[in-house]
């Protein structure tokens, strides 16, 4: 077969394909909307027949998403979200949507956001997954962890990242294992990103760690941390 060069340049082909690509995108969007509409109708039928607590995790996530989109929180839904939080049944994607997907939601959601961080304070292992999910979906900068040895065989960690041209840095957090210290730092920076204050108990727990060691060790640790922070701000 004889090779024949294309009569069009690449920019010309892109222009010619533009209407076709737009039409294809419209068709795909319409299909997504159609199947989402069918799914919503199915959920409404289920909700009319079954209580919220009977929904599987995927169906319950769709209920949360719909309520957030419409900014409509019923007492029954709020109660079920709290119940699933208390029983560790709320999924990471549920937490992400509650805290970050619709950040402009009105104040009726604030108590649930606070309760979500109460859950993360008790189970910080979920915070690292939530941070990674936010990095992928919201294009946060890649989290940068700094881990160092602390007194008494413990570890300290903090994490920093950028979002919307703003830099966020967590406090240093102390734990017996590196991973645990990193998880606690993840909770801290997520709270900054969400604009939700952490409870005093979260920090009191770390103070209880430090009270096990002599004041001189703690003072050395504080001085070292202050020196590192000063160097970071003024490398000269």
Reported confidence tier of residue 227, pLDDT bands at 50, 70, 90: low
Tell me the percentage of the chain whose pLDDT exceeds 70: 64
Most confident by average pLDDT, 27-41, 139-153, 208-222: 139-153
pLDDT at 183 over 90: yes
* Joined tokens for residue 216: 């001189």
Q: What's the start-to-end Cα distance of the chain, in Å?
A: 68
Reported confidence tier of residue 208, pLDDT bands at 50, 70, 90: low
CB count within 10 Å of CB 161 equals 21
- For β-strands 173-175 and 144-149, DSSP reports them as unpaired
CA distance 11 to 25: 20
Residue 99, pLDDT score:
92
- The label of the residue with tokens 């990674």 reads 132
Are 126 and 120 in contact by the 8 Å Cβ rule? The answer is yes
Residue 236, pLDDT score:
55
Of 164, 173, 157, nearest to 195 (Cα)?
164
pTM: 0.69
Please spell the DSSP secondary structure of the chain, one letter per residue. Answer: ------SS-HHHHHHHHHHHHHHHHHHHHHHHHHHHHHHHHHHHHHHHHS-GGGS-HHHHHHHHHHHHHHT---HHHHHHHHHHHHTT-S-HHHHHIIIIISTT--GGGHHHHHHHHHHHHH-THHHHHHHHHHHHHH-PPPPEEEEEE-GGG-EEEEEEEEETTEEEEPPPEEESSHHHHHHHHHHHHHHHHHT-PPPHHHHHHHHHHHTTS-HHHHHHHHHHHHHHHHHHH---
Residue 235, pLDDT score:
54
Residue 91, pLDDT score:
92
Q: What are phi and psi of 168, to 5 degrees?
A: -125, 135
Residue 165, pLDDT score:
84
pLDDT digits 0-9 by tens, 83-137 = 999 999 999 999 999 998 876 666 889 999 999 999 999 999 999 899 988 888 8
CA distance 156 to 217: 14
pLDDT at 16 over 80: no
Of 234, 222, 232, 121, nearest to 180 (Cα)?
121
CA distance 141 to 167: 9
CA distance 227 to 115: 36
Residue 33, pLDDT score:
44
Poorest-pLDDT segment among 8-17, 102-111, 147-156: 8-17
Tell me the percentage of the chain whose pLDDT exceeds 90: 35
pLDDT digits 0-9 by tens, 26-59 = 444 444 443 345 556 655 665 555 678 888 898 8
């Amino acid at each position: 077969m004889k090779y024949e060069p294309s009569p069009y340049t690449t920019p010309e082909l892109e222009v010619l394909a533009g209407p076709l690509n737009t039409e294809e995108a419209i068709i795909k969007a319409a299909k997504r909307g159609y199947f989402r509409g069918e799914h919503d109708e199915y959920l409404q039928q289920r909700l009319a027949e079954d209580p919220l607590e009977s929904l599987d995790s995927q169906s319950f996530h769709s209920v949360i998403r719909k309520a957030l989109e419409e900014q409509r929180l019923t007492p029954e839904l709020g109660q079920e979200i709290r119940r699933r939080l208390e029983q560790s049944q709320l999924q990471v994607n549920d937490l992400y949507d509650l805290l970050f997907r619709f950040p402009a939601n009105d104040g009726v959601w604030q108590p649930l956001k606070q309760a979500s961080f109460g859950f993360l304070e008790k189970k910080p292992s979920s915070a690292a997954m939530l941070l990674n999910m936010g990095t992928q979906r919201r294009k946060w900068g890649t989290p940068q962890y700094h881990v160092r040895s602390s007194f008494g065989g413990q570890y300290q960690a903090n994490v920093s990242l950028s979002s919307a041209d703003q830099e966020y840095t967590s406090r240093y957090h102390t734990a017996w294992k590196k991973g645990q210290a990193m998880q606690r730092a993840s909770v801290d920076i997520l709270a900054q990103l969400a604009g939700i204050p952490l409870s005093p108990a979260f920090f009191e727990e770390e103070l209880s760690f430090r009270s096990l060691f002599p004041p001189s060790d703690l003072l050395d640790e504080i001085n070292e941390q202050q020196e590192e922070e000063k160097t970071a701000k003024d490398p000269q």
